[in-house]
A and B are shown apart, each in its own frame.
Chain A
Amino acid sequence: QVLLVQSGPEVTKPGASVKVSCKASGYTFTYYGLSWVRQAPGQGLEWMGWISAYNGNTNYAPSFQGRVTMTRDTSTTTAYMELRSLRSDDTAVYYCVREAETAGTVYFLYWGQGTLVTVSS
């Protein structure tokens, strides 16, 4: 079965960076894109960006452009999301998500368990 296993919780300081990993299994890694979605405490879902597992092409949401980098390692079937210049309002649960597509519609079918990133001085 499809599994996305994310790295553990992180506590970090304002101005620092964090890198979250997402280990994929149960499918051919390069066949599907991966998105990252975050959710601040008590808030809604916020799409951060997408990476093609096939060629590494990325598409970042405007609000994260310049501060986020998404990469992948096909040899280990792992995706990474690095967020820089962290602020307290970056405190959130970060999810990796594997897409699926039917008749031209892309949807988020498989979700990682989430990684809590806490930014605090």
Chain B
Amino acid sequence: DIQMTQSPSSLSASVGDRVSITCRTSQSISSYLNWYQQKPGKAPKLLIYAASNLQTGVPSRFSGTGSGTDFTLTISSLQPEDFATYYCQHSYSKMFGQGTNVEIK
């Protein structure tokens, strides 16, 4: 089974900061990697699919890079509405990473 490891598990940042979250897989998954945002009490929302494709309607400050085993979600300038938990997901196995909680510093 493919293992997915997100880092960090949590981070504190300020509005306007550039934030990066990493997802590492135990074996190569090509670009079959999705990213989701979840706010408390809400269902997750798709941000990025196939590692780098921005879902329609998602602000351009979100971007995804990577292939193989190492992937990164970057928020170029953190906005107040971006404080949430972020999950990566392997498209084929449908398994999720453990999540990264982005908190206000």
Binding site for B on A (CB under 8 A): 35, 37, 44-47, 50, 61-62, 95, 102-109, 111-114
Contact = CB atoms under 8 A, between A and B. Distances in A.
A95 B50 contact: no
Contacts of A109: 46, 55
Interface residues of B, number: 25
Interface in B55-76: 55
Contact of A105 (B32, B85, B87): B32
A108 B96 CA distance: 11
Nearest to B98: A44
Specify the main secondary structure of chain A where it touches its partner. Answer: strand
A5 to B, nearest CB: 12
Interface in B30-68: 31-32, 34, 36, 38, 43-44, 46, 49-50, 53, 55
A103 B30 CA distance: 13
Nearest to A46: B96
A48 B72 CA distance: 25
Given A44-B96, A45-B96, A108-B89, A114 B34 contact: no
A45 B99 contact: yes
A103 B34 CA distance: 13
A105 B89 CA distance: 11
A110 B46 CA distance: 9
Contacts of A44: 85, 87, 96-99
Contact of A106 (B43, B91, B96): B91
Contact of A50 (B34, B87, B91, B94): B94
Contacts of B43: 95, 111-114
A87 B85 CA distance: 27
Contacts of A104: 32
B46 A107 contact: yes
Q: Which of B44, B91, B94 has the most CB of A within 10 A?
A: B94
